[in-house]
Amino acid sequence: MKPPHAAPDQRTGSVQAGTKHAQASEFSGKVDQGGSDCMAVSSMLQRIGDKWTVLIVSYLGNGPMRFNALRREIGNISQKMLTTTLRNLERDGFVLRTVTPSRPPAVEYELTQLGRCLLVPVSGLARWTLENIDRIEAARAEYDAKEG
């Protein structure tokens, strides 16, 4: 693994404005996006950035749910992907799977503590998305307009 920011000169590890945009942005907190951490972030984003993970975690945020309940709620997920995604979530310790041996068997999924606290940063990104999606779509429209 090659650590990002192998940049020799600078090892600040924070987003500092370049020469032109030196003025502070509207946010006050410092952003330490620049260090060797970006690999971890990148990996995490790819991990939860797949098609269904966040959606499922969100639904499970409401409380425990059974397999087909989850499936019905989401609506258009194949059971293969639901199974796969739940398995991965279970493996990472985000979701707890509980089998009740009845007939037919009942399987309940619920968020673990780790899974619930994952919702915190994710909801931060959610908030940001909802706050800025208009600007993003406007930018897209403008860009596409210029292309023809």
Structural tokens at position 117: 């606290």
CB of 122 to a second copy, least distance (A): 6
The verdict on 106 binding a second copy (CB under 8 A) reads no
Long-range residue pairs from 69-74, CB within 8 A, at least 24 positions apart, any chain? 70/109
Q: How far apart are CA 131 and CA 125, in angstroms?
A: 10
Residues of this chain, 86-105, that bind DNA according to CB under 7 A:
86-87, 97, 104-105
Among 35, 66, 74, 119, binds DNA (CB under 7 A): 66
Q: How far apart are CA 79 and CA 67, in angstroms?
A: 9
Which one-letter amino acid corresponds to residue 78? S
> Which one of the spans 78-86, 99-107, 127-135 is the region binding a second copy (CB under 8 A)?
127-135
Interface positions with DNA (CB under 7 A): 50-52, 66-69, 77-81, 83, 86-87, 97, 104-107
